[in-house]
């Protein structure tokens, strides 16, 4: 089984094209406070030529209903990624896919959602998540691993955690908020090669 890969924090046409050309399954646009923050209109412009095979994710944190409604109306993402506790008080349309975020050291919602994103205490900082805790969660749900991943450590992470997917932002940048096409290609290639190697070992 192939690994699901999301390239997050995209802000330019070049970065969107690089992610898609390299084979990303999903692209993320940040609406939370960040050097990578974009407006709903900008996200809509950047993703206007993206095919239905690539999931467009709105990445938020503690959004108000008004902020969410604007993003949904203008950008119309395929999925919403935000902290799990944020989802409790929001009115969410039935068509919107959800990616609840669980963080190292935080309380875990019960029951655990069918798919979650697991990362460190803060997003986009390059801080590595707790891989041991992530591996335990990966046995119970479709876990997307984020936090401190880059082309050099993603293979090790895939083998250690056995996640459903991986998510990267700062780890494929040449400077804060500026994606590096070569790093995106290397990250995706390393993650896919590690998953294929794991599958071969399981079958041996």
DSSP secondary-structure letter at 40? H
Label residue 61 exposed, middle or buried (CB < 10 Å: 0-12, 13-18, 19+).
Answer: middle
State pLDDT tens for residues 85-101.
999 889 999 999 999 99
The CATH code of the domain that includes 78 is 3.20.20.70
**Domain span at residue 162?**
4-203
pTM: 0.94
Q: What is the pLDDT of residue 203?
A: 66
Q: What is the pLDDT of residue 204?
A: 59
Count of CA atoms in the C-beta half-sphere (13 A) of 25: 15
Q: What is the pLDDT of residue 52?
A: 81
Q: What is the pLDDT of residue 115?
A: 95
Q: Are 49 and 18 in contact (CB under 8 A)?
A: no
Number of folded domains in the chain? Answer: 1
Dist. CA 11–CA 29, nearest whole Å: 7
């Amino acid at each position: 089984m192939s690994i699901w890969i999301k390239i997050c924090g995209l802000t330019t046409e070049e970065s969107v094209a690089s992610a898609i050309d390299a084979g990303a399954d999903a692209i993320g646009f940040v609406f939370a406070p960040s050097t990578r923050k974009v407006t709903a209109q900008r996200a809509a412009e950047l993703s206007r030529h993206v095919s239905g095979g690539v999931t467009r994710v709105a990445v938020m944190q503690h959004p108000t209903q008004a902020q969410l409604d604007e993003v949904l109306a203008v950008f119309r993402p395929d999925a919403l990624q935000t902290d799990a506790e944020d989802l409790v008080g929001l009115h969410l349309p039935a068509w919107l896919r959800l990616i609840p975020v669980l963080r190292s050291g935080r309380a875990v919602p019960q029951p655990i959602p069918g798919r979650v994103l697991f990362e460190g205490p803060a997003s986009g900082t390059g801080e590595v998540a707790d891989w041991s805790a992530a591996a335990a969660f990966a046995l119970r749900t479709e876990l997307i691993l984020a936090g401190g991943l880059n082309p050099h450590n993603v293979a090790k992470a895939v083998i250690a955690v056995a996640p459903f997917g991986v998510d990267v932002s700062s780890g494929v940048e040449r400077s804060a908020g500026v994606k590096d096409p070569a790093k995106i290609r290397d990250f995706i290639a390393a993650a896919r090669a590690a998953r294929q190697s794991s599958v071969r070992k399981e079958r041996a």
